[in-house]
Amino acid sequence: MKPSIAVTGMGVVTPAGCTLEDLWNGLLDGKSTARYLDGFNETRFGCQIRGLDPVGTGKDVRRMDAFARYGVTAGLDAYRHAGAPQADHGRAAILVGSAVGGRQTSDQESFNYAERGAAGVNPLMPLMTMPNAAAAALSMKLGWTGPAFTYANTCASSADAIGQGMLMLRSGQVDVVLAGGCEATLSPVTLAAFTNLNALSTRIDDPERASRPFDVGRDGFTMGEGAAFVIMERKEDAVARRAQIHGEVLGYAATADAHHLAMPHPDGLGAGTAMRNALVDAGVEPADISHINAHGTSTPINDRVEAAAIQRLFGSSAPPVTSSKGVLGHLMGAAGAVELISTLLGLRNNTVPPTANHEQLESGMEIDVVHRSPRTIINGPALSNSFGFGGHNASLVVTA
């Protein structure tokens, strides 16, 4: 029998706020956090972190890219929220998802090199930009000497980190896991690249209405940034130390489309298989699912494919669907972790937040998208989807 895996701590750094309460209220409000970006000479918009106090000392800040600072902040908040579990440090794991690592530092140092030559480049650049910088920093902050892994499966990265953490706990390899993701891709070069890829919304005159998952008028995603982490333990261990349990991770599955670098499989086969296998792993039926926190990027093809995969798996009785990206934008490698926490908060409150900016379904999408106002639901297991560039698919099943 599989041991139950409890979530005992959660921490977030999001454009809607850096506390669980702020995040939940922002999702319930159903209004986009997209704005014109601070510090950009050209007209660029996204969902930016504002008002976050730097973590650690001045030395820490100078030696960490924004993605790692967000990750350390959210990770330590999750650890404290869990009551600072005192596991054997050699049996405590840190699993971090990040699609690109220290992109802001990489771009800045490239500019420095172009302007001042080799002498103008920060010697710490390799250490600040490496994708495992956040995992390394968290291991040093906590003194944990167990496994510290970094997953770079684009937009599925942090969902995979959480799923792999669940599997490590089930197997008995470790006793406590800090898992999640962090991303800070709001840099000129990255935004230019995604614009040229035709992946971003072009609603420059109306940023707050740009991200509109599953809406007939969607034209691309809005870039976001942030981090989210959970502490997971075997339920029996959490109960033994009298920890508060905020939910359970019941199931996880991952697949690869093996199809295209940027496009999902047009039939949604990989996405559908990930969802189905996650339900099997959780031991639940499609009819048991109370709601789906969809990947829902607001891109024409991805939303269409995900909707088709949901229809095929759940049929006419598909549960209500929401996408957090209408409010938060796309947090890339951190998206899965933020959305998993959003799903747990929804279950805890028996409520599905609305999908911001969604007004009308595209013809042929026969899914029930929650929009305009929150919806009360009967508590039951929920599904959280994360599908990434390169055809990486991850689905998690959770319950309150």
Write down the domain spans for the chain: 5-240, 252-399
Q: How confident is the model at residue 134 (pLDDT cuts 50, 70, 90)?
A: very high
Phi, psi of 88 (to 5 degrees): -55, 120
Query: Which pLDDT score is estimated for 262?
Result: 87
**CA nearest to 144, candidates 135, 156, 154:** 135
- The pLDDT of 159-165, averaged and rounded, is 98
How far is 220 from 218, CA to CA, in rounded Å?
Answer: 6
The pTM (predicted TM-score) of the whole model is: 0.97
Tokens found for residue 118: 């080799």
For residue 132, report the phi and psi dihedrals to the nearest 5 degrees: -85, 10
As a whole number, the mean pLDDT across the chain is: 95
Which of 270, 309, 273, 267 minimizes the C-alpha distance to 292? Answer: 309
18, 47, 81, 155: which is the annotated catalytic residue? 155
Residue 38: pLDDT band (50, 70, 90) is confident
Mean pLDDT value of segment 126-137: 97
Domain 252-399 in the same topology as domain 5-240: yes
Interaxial angle between packed helices 66-81 and 103-116, expressed in degrees from 0 to 180 and rounded to the nearest 10: 160
pLDDT of residue 53: 74
Q: Is 155 a catalytic residue?
A: yes
Please count the other Cβ atoms lying within 10 Å of the Cβ belonging to residue 116. 10
pLDDT > 70 fraction of the chain, expressed in percent and rounded = 98
Pair 151, 160: CB distance under 8 Å: yes
End-to-end CA distance of the chain: give it in Å, rounded: 20
Lowest mean pLDDT among 171-175, 180-184, 314-318: 314-318
What local confidence, expressed as pLDDT, does residue 52 receive? 85
Q: Which residues of 246-269 are buried (b: 16+ CB within 10 A; e: fewer)?
A: bbbbbbbbbbbbeeeeeebbeebb
| Average pLDDT for 270-276 | 97
Q: Per residue in 341-396, pLDDT tens? A: 999 999 999 999 999 999 999 989 999 999 999 999 998 999 999 999 999 999 99
How many residues are listed for the chain in this entry?
400
**Residue found under tokens 């994708």:** 131
Question: In this structure, what are the phi and psi dihedrals at residue 225, rounded to the nearest 5 degrees?
Answer: -150, 160
Over residues 96-115, the mean pLDDT reads 95
pLDDT at 41 over 70: no
131-143 mean pLDDT: 97
The band of 397, judged by pLDDT with boundaries at 50, 70 and 90, is very high
SS3 331: coil
- CATH for 5-240 is 3.40.47.10
Q: What does each C-alpha distance from 191 to 46, 150, 332, 357 come to in angstroms?
A: 9, 24, 13, 22
pLDDT of 54: 62
Active site residue 330: yes
pLDDT per position as a tens digit, 49-76? 988 876 666 777 789 999 999 999 999 9
Q: What percent of the chain has pLDDT over 90?
A: 92
Single out the catalytic residue among 295, 358, 371, 392.
Answer: 295
Dist CA 213 CA 296 (whole Å): 5
- Rounded to 10 degrees, the C-alpha dihedral 30/33/34/40 comes to 180
Distance CA 347, CA 320 (A): 13
Contact 19, 30 (CB under 8 A): no
Which one from 265, 330, 371, 392 is the annotated catalytic residue?
330
CATH number of 252-399, picked from 3.20.20.30, 3.40.47.10, 3.30.2230.10, 2.120.10.30: 3.40.47.10
- Respond yes or no: is residue 18 known to be catalytic: no
Instruction: Determine the Cα–Cα distance for residues 33 and 389; give it in Å rounded to an integer.
Output: 24
pLDDT score of 239 more than 70: yes
